[in-house]
Structure 1
Amino acid sequence: MIPVPSKVEGQVFSLYDLEQRLKPIGYVIGGNWDYDHGSFDYEIDDRVGYQFLRVPFSVVNGQLDDKEATVQLGEPFLLSHKYQRGLDDNVHVGNKTASFDQFSEPVDPDAEFPSEYVDTGKELVQELERTLLS
């Protein structure tokens, strides 16, 4: 994990507004959310695992399933997950089991972040600041 200092840290936004502004430029709400915290993830690469820019947030008012929720952004960071290869190759599952067997566990959930993507991550944070603070 590599922290990327940003002017967005500590800023408070409507979660709905954040979604409307960040989804069009490639961010998704990360799967590891709860009612009081979550993150927006931008996938940088997926050739050897997944490399993300993650922008964490915590709820200031309401809950994440509430359209009126407001959130405070944390410090963005670069994150790498490496997954087991071959687990999903040639797998045939029915509709009933697909929702349970869809993803493999990471081999290394906090893998070393490839140095060639650090500058890309910093550029993404600059774009994030322009999008949210302009």
Structure 2
Amino acid sequence: MYVENIGLKGLVADLRVMEEIMNKNNLEIDGQWDYERVTFDKKYIVKEGTYYLRVFGELVEGDIDGRKATVRLKQPVLGKHYYPHGVEYGEEENFPASLVKDCELTLKKVYDELKQYSL
């Protein structure tokens, strides 16, 4: 499920600043990067299952490996984890309303902090 109307999609910023703000809001990279992409995850474990809020980013310029990069964010997404298959993002998934609200609040905080550093 895409989390819309937050303002993060298309935001461009320095990766070091972005990572600091994301970590402050419990969104972590934890090895989810390559040389052109990065993913920030927030894991939720609730009675309905395990969910991940994911914010994907793509390299604009620089070096993600060295954390000296400019990154453009994509549309945040919420998915449910199914063992052993992975995370499903489909619209047919049921997401608890309280979970969706927390994701929206988290992303709004990230946006409010990160927008001042937007390039």
Q: Same fold (TM over 0.5)?
A: yes
Does residue 115 of structure 1 match 2:96?
yes
**Counterpart of 2:85 in 1: which secondary structure?**
strand
Deviation at 1:66? Answer: 2.3
Deviation at 1:54? Answer: 0.7
Partners in 2 of 1:31 and 1:50 — Cα distance?
19
Aligned to 2:3: 4
Partners in 2 of 1:62 and 1:22 — Cα distance?
19
- Does the C-alpha gap of structure 1 residues 115 and 47 become closer, same or farther in structure 2, counting only changes over 3 Å? closer
Partners in 2 of 1:35 and 1:26 — Cα distance?
23
- Does the C-alpha gap of structure 1 residues 129 and 13 become closer, same or farther in structure 2, counting only changes over 3 Å? same
Higher relative contact order (Cα pairs below 8 Å, separated by 6+ residues): 2
Aligned residue-pair number: 111
Give the fraction of aligned pairs with identical amino acids, expressed as a percent. 28
Partners in 2 of 1:119 and 1:22 — Cα distance?
18
- Does the C-alpha gap of structure 1 residues 73 and 108 become closer, same or farther in structure 2, counting only changes over 3 Å? closer
**Counterpart of 1:7 in 2: which secondary structure?**
coil
Partners in 1 of 2:86 and 2:48 — Cα distance?
11
Mean Cα deviation higher: 44-53 or 5-14: 44-53
Partners in 2 of 1:27 and 1:131 — Cα distance?
14
Per the normalisation by structure 1, the TM-score is 0.70
Does residue 133 of structure 1 match 2:112?
no
Per the normalisation by structure 2, the TM-score is 0.78
Q: What do residues 35-68 of structure 1 show as CA deviations (whole Å, max 9, x unaligned)?
A: 1012111123255552121110000002311232
